[in-house]
């Protein structure tokens, strides 16, 4: 799976439409192998993004959980800590 596709379920605040579309774009790029499709493939590429976005939106709205939503800031800080541990701290 593409590393740029982030988990969108069970966050507070919930995933935005832009986040869902961005994940869908990354997914279609990964499947097709195109970062930017040719003009001949542009229409089908955009249709695929819209279809995946619709499916992702339906999935996120239908999923259920008993756990409390995760805080975005806390999860982002955990990710930064994992990155710093793995790659070392960046010099500012």
Mean pLDDT of 45-51: 98
Inside any domain, residue 5: no
Q: Which residues of 32-41 are buried (b: 16+ CB within 10 A; e: fewer)?
A: eeeeebeeee
Which pLDDT score is estimated for 4? 66
- Write out the two tokens for 87: 């790659």
pLDDT(2) > 80: no
Inside any domain, residue 4: no
Note the pTM of the prediction, 2 decimals.
0.80
| Cα gap 52→11, rounded to integer Å | 20
Inside any domain, residue 59: yes
Q: How many domains does the chain have?
A: 1
| pLDDT over 90, % of the chain | 76
Q: Which residue range forms the structural domain that includes residue 33?
A: 11-87
């Amino acid at each position: 799976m593409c590393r740029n596709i982030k988990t969108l379920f069970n966050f507070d605040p919930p995933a935005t439409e832009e986040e869902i579309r961005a994940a869908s774009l990354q997914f279609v790029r990964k499947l097709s192998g195109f970062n930017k499709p040719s003009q001949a493939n542009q229409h089908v590429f955009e249709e695929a993004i819209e279809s995946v976005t619709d499916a992702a939106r339906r999935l996120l709205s239908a999923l259920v959980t008993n756990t409390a939503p995760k805080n975005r800031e806390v999860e982002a800080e955990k990710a930064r800590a994992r990155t710093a541990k793995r790659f070392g701290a960046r010099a500012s």
